Amino acid sequence: KRVNFPYPVEDIVRYHHEKWDGSGYPKGLRAEQIPLVARIISVVDFYDATRCDRPYRKGMKREDSLALLQKMAASSFDPRLVDLFTQHVTEFDALIGQQDIGEQVASENIDLTNKARPDAGLASDVLGAPDGSTGFRSITQAQREVFALHEIAQTIGSSLNMNDTVSLISNKLRAIVPFDTCIIFIVDDRLGRAVAMHVLGDHADLFARRRISIGDGITGWVIANARSMCNSSPELDLGGLPEDIAHNYRGVLVSPLIREDGAFGAITLYSKGRTSYTTEHVRLLESVAQHAASALNNAMTFEKTKESALTDQLTELPNARGFYMMLEQRLAECQRLNRESLALISMDVDDFKKINDQWGHAIGDRLLASVARVIRKELRQMDILSRYAGDEFVAIMPMASQTMSEMVGERIRQAVAAHKFSVRTGKSVTVTISIGVACFPVNGETTEELLTTAARNMQRDKHTRKNLLNLSTMPTPARIDHYT
């Protein structure tokens, strides 16, 4: 508005997504309320977009584009403008430059007045319908689709388990939309990428490892733009897969999983025998995706709530509640496996209060998270490290003996002491930790017995090391007096 264009640019930009029936955005204007120039642009833009190939679908012939435009008149577009545009479309096309007209899909010899083509019956109203398709669905197929959609709507939210939900979605989807491989992607906010949460069909082991950056490829584009995409080359989405596998896929259809704050995932279908999906397939997948998005969002919320109840938010380690649950499970396993050994290592950061007093609690929190990472690196993959309380950590080591756990504890002590922790730009500090070990079944057979023993040994280690430090700073006569 401040630029003062000689043309109503603001109206075009602001209102060209409004629809004739009032279902558009941003204001939901309808009919004559939409500025005339915005109504004109929306018709022209639709025609231009559907005539040319796009990364997400193939372009349409002139007659197919006009047929779809007229079908959407009175719902999306001003019907009078659609009629006027159709009458003069050949004149408009003649005004287009050769380079631009070359991007359009070639049209057939068709009389636009009565919409008849040579030897043609009813024109297909589907996008990218396979050759020989009549556009009609059998009553049996329609009934199967309606039943499948109803079953999905009824059962898809019956479980809050993420794995059960994604498995149900993919299995039910197979009854109504053809595919050889179905992948359900969920955006991992920590990675900033879409992760293959579930795969059904061919090459599931390969696709299960897929990680897609938002905006990359077909699936990434769908998530970034919250719009479905079909009939593009599947190879745009299959980078990193072996060529002999990627070349076997001929069709792709992707619909976003959308919640209030935007797309959080996508359902991606790949086909080996079908080069294109129809608008009917798009409609069905979008319907499934709508139900699936709600169920998956509920399952994710449940998982996050459960995880947050058992996870320390600062270090992302199990908290005390999570620690107790996992230790009880491990002890029960040890009892079943002929009293197999298990070790606890209790660790406490020495003089952590001084860190908080000198540098502040924010720096102290950051230091604790760094200490947790250092400790984690010294443990085995099977070991469980938890933040038990404040500056205290406890590690569970299945199948570890007293000797092994003491050796690991000493290795952790040395690693932490050798690490320089940054507290501000150009300034680092070092810290030490006290360590105590307890083993099942030698030092106890219950959670409380093992924790008590490990904590007692940790306190003994702390006091012993403090006494040695104090002695080392005393003059020689004082040290002699200390022991006499």
Q: What angle, rounded to 10 degrees, do the helices at 36-51 and 62-71 form?
A: 140
Q: What is the DSSP string of 380-421?
A: -TT-EEEEEETTEEEEEEET--HHHHHHHHHHHHHHHHHPPE
Angle at 203 between CA 201 and CA 209, to 5 degrees: 110
pLDDT, tens digit (0-9, with 9 covering 90-100), for 1-12 = 566 666 667 777
Pairwise pLDDT comparison (477 vs 27), residue with the higher score:
27
Report the alpha-carbon distance of residue 213 to residue 388 in Å, rounded: 36
pLDDT, tens digit (0-9, with 9 covering 90-100), for 169-187 = 888 788 788 899 999 999 9
What domains lie within the chain, and their CATH numbers?
9-101 (1.10.3210.10), 139-309 (3.30.450.40), 320-477 (3.30.70.270)
Mean pLDDT of the residues in the chain = 81
pLDDT, tens digit (0-9, with 9 covering 90-100), for 282-292 = 988 998 888 88
pLDDT, tens digit (0-9, with 9 covering 90-100), for 411-438 = 999 999 999 998 888 889 999 999 999 9
pTM: 0.45
Pairwise pLDDT comparison (477 vs 189), residue with the higher score:
189
Pairwise pLDDT comparison (135 vs 1), residue with the higher score:
1
Angle at 167 between CA 166 and CA 171, to 5 degrees: 115
Q: How confident is the model at residue 154 (pLDDT cuts 50, 70, 90)?
A: low
